[in-house]
Amino acid sequence: MLIQHCALKGEDGQFQGVLRPEWEIWGPNGGYLSAMAMNAVAQVSPFEQPISYYGMYLAARN
């Protein structure tokens, strides 16, 4: 289910996805947003897997 919910459309480094309400806490879950971001990275990277990833979320959406 997560793979389908993180699906992106686009090319040339510009992608769009739909944020699904099932993954909300106070707003979109940070891990869910990270999964979408890594999906975009995987589509443009010459490497099979990223070595590391660090993300920081400054505030919840109101």
Which residue spans within 1-62 are E strands per DSSP?
9-11, 14-16
For the question of whether the overall pTM of this predicted structure is more than 0.75, the answer is yes
For residues 45 and 51, the answer to whether their CB atoms sit within 8 Å is no
Q: What does DSSP assign to residue 23?
A: G
Q: pLDDT tens digit string along 6-61? A: 999 998 889 999 999 999 988 788 889 999 999 999 899 998 877 788 888 777 65
Please report which helix (H) or strand (E) contains residue 13, including its range. none
Q: How confident is the model at residue 62 (pLDDT cuts 50, 70, 90)?
A: low
